[in-house]
Amino acid sequence: MKNLKHISMIAALLVIGCSDYLDVNVDPNNPADADERLVLPAAQQSIAARAGNYYRITGSIWSQHYTQNNTSSQYISTDNYDVDNLNFLENDFTEMFSGPLNDLKFVKRKSEASENWTNYLIAEVMEVYAFQLIADLYDGAPLAEGLNGDEDNFTPDWNTGPEVYDMLLARLDDALSRDFSSSTNVSPGTSDLVFGGDVDSWIRFANTLKLKLMIRYSAADPGKAKSLISALVNSGVEFLDVSASISTYYDQPDRGNPLYEADRRNQNTTTNLKASLTMVNYLELANDPRINAFYDAPIAGGPVKGMRQGTSSMPSTQLDSKTISGAKVLATDPVYFISLAESYFLRAEAAARAFSNEDAASLYAQGVLTAFNRYGFDGSSFLAGPYAYPNGTSEENVEAIIEQKWIAHLGGNSIEAWFDKLRTGYPSFSTSAPGEPGYDPLAPGAPIFTFPVDAVTFDGQFPRRLLIPDDEVLNNPNAPAQPANGILTPVWWDLN
């Protein structure tokens, strides 16, 4: 867009200058130009606010990390799979385009003009990350035309999911091909909220993001996945050696973790999100100490206890929420774009599928240990016990990898756990609930997920995508038609 809505008054004064400050034809709150170092952190923080709040809530509930408290109503529709195109994620879709994607376009244009390829790479990686989220949620995105031209384009054509992915991979290749040793490169320093301007870390982030995009082809086009991933890994590139995250949050109003601010501070309650019985039972059976890092003790006291998915119809006389643990969410929690554990698990899955020549078992072990270490625990004994790598068939190995990745996403980028569930089928659904006869989620190949009690869908059907937001459908005649089966319609890489 022509006006950069997320630039502060300070940036406006710097650009306009004192001599023009009294020009009544210039809006100092919406300058046409600014220093990209002021725009970049706003874009990063805005994407974190999308990924770390309502996308995380949706992913956490559909991944059965959390469930809706039966005596609250904030996320009932999500927990019961009663989601249409007028849901709370609609604002996130709109904000993604009017805010961070628009800002990143500006940073790329300025950086390309000055040949500051460090800033260009940062902006491109963040843009690709955002478009990947949109494409995976809606099975496509208005990528080619969505931000084109000097003027706003309010009716862009949409690209299909595969088209988006091909373009995103090409954009990352193009950004990585730039000369990062050039004297024209200027580090953004602390303006970069993720890596503090360290271009080597951004190159690793870009490579890891490429791997994540490529692994999405695993079911839809395994030949393409293998070709792309083999070439990537064999080229000797480096992947993330630290998490790609924003961790500069404080326990102060409007400065905390996005989920904490929205769900805890702004609503002045800690009871909306409860511990899912699915995950609690899994961790209890494994005697996993992270259970107390993931969940609070019940208000009534005692050990961590979970609530079954979708029990909003059960009155407090039948299900006392005070006896159920809440989700542990802290104001200082980071927002993860790709965690280090996720990076290891991505590489492990690629190797387990014979898409690369890396050692799947070793990468799996590093992923498990890293996920434990995040909370100060040593996971070594679990690698020799309940979380041992199967060393079985490719599918058995992939199942173990995805289950551990499912746990590692808890408290972080939970929407990716849901995408993994759709793409791989793991963890699989059970016809029984935790505690019922025959329910043993730690057994090899055993189903884990349970169907919400109050789900509005039938025959064990669960959401596979979001509907195009109502504003987009009404205002953009080029938006795709809503799928016939609504949220039950799989996206292009979901063949399970």
DSSP assignment string, 21-60: TT-TTS-TTS-S---HHHHHHHHHHHHHHHHTTHHHHHHH
The span from the CA of 306 to the CA of 303, in Å, is 10
Is 50 exceeded by the pLDDT of residue 6? no
H or E, element range at 275: strand 273-275
pLDDT in the model for residue 30:
54
Is 60 exceeded by the pLDDT of residue 171? yes
Q: Identify whether 334 is preceded by a cis peptide bond (ω within 30 of 0).
A: no
Q: Are 457 and 489 in contact (CB under 8 A)?
A: no
Mean pLDDT of 290-308: 96
pLDDT in the model for residue 31:
56
Is 60 exceeded by the pLDDT of residue 430? yes
Band of residue 17 on the pLDDT scale cut at 50, 70, 90? very low
For 178-243, where are the alpha helices, taking DSSP H only? 199-215, 217-220, 222-234
Query: Cα 268 vs. chain centroid, distance in angstroms?
Result: 25
Digit-coded pLDDT (tens) for 288-298: 999 999 999 99
Q: Are 292 and 323 in contact (CB under 8 A)?
A: no
pLDDT in the model for residue 151:
55
The span from the CA of 364 to the CA of 404, in Å, is 9
Please give the model's pTM, rounded to 2 decimal places: 0.91
Q: Are 39 and 189 in contact (CB under 8 A)?
A: no
Digit-coded pLDDT (tens) for 139-152: 999 999 877 644 56
Digit-coded pLDDT (tens) for 237-266: 999 999 999 999 999 999 999 999 999 998
Query: Cα 250 vs. chain centroid, distance in angstroms?
Result: 21
pLDDT in the model for residue 318:
84
Range 35-250+333-432+459-488 has CATH code 1.25.40.390: yes
Q: Which of 306, 299, 300 is nearest to 283 (CA)?
A: 306
Q: For residue 35, give both structure tokens.
A: 């220093």
The span from the CA of 293 to the CA of 288, in Å, is 10
Is 60 exceeded by the pLDDT of residue 11? no
Name the percent of the chain lying above pLDDT 70. 91
Report the largest interatomic distance among the alpha carbons of the chain, rounded to a whole angstrom.
78
Band of residue 442 on the pLDDT scale cut at 50, 70, 90? confident
Q: What is the mean pLDDT of the chain?
A: 90
Torsions phi, psi of 307, nearest 5? -115, 140
Is 90 exceeded by the pLDDT of residue 300? yes
| Residue 121, phi-psi category: left (phi > 0), alpha (psi -120 to 50), beta (remainder) | alpha
Is 70 exceeded by the pLDDT of residue 16? no
Output DSSP code: residue 468: P
Q: Are 43 and 8 in contact (CB under 8 A)?
A: no
Among 39-43, 87-91, 481-485, the range scoring the smallest mean pLDDT is 87-91
Which tops the pLDDT comparison, 226 or 91?
A: 226
From the number of C-beta atoms within 10 Å of its C-beta (0-12, 13-18, 19+), residue 270 rates as: middle
Mean pLDDT of 315-339: 94
Q: In sequence order, what are the beta bridge partners of 307?
A: 276
User: Where do the DSSP E strands lie in 82-236?
Assistant: 140-141, 159-160
Q: Kindly list the distances between the CA atom of residue 481 and the CA atoms of 91, 158, 263, 484, 490, in Å, as whole numbers in the listed order.
A: 20, 11, 33, 9, 15
Q: Which of 208, 215, 494 is nearest to 352 (CA)?
A: 215
Digit-coded pLDDT (tens) for 452-486: 999 999 878 999 999 999 889 888 999 999 998 99
User: Where do the DSSP E strands lie in 140-255?
Assistant: 140-141, 159-160, 244-246
pLDDT in the model for residue 313:
87
Q: For residue 377, give both structure tokens.
A: 């625990």
The span from the CA of 347 to the CA of 265, in Å, is 37
Q: Are 284 and 373 in contact (CB under 8 A)?
A: no
If one counts every other C-beta atom within 10 angstroms of the C-beta of residue 431, the result is 11
User: Letter for the amino acid at 289?
Assistant: P
Q: Where are the domains of the chain?
A: 1-32, 35-250+333-432+459-488
pLDDT in the model for residue 2:
34
Instruction: Match 């208000």 to its residue by tokens.
Output: 299
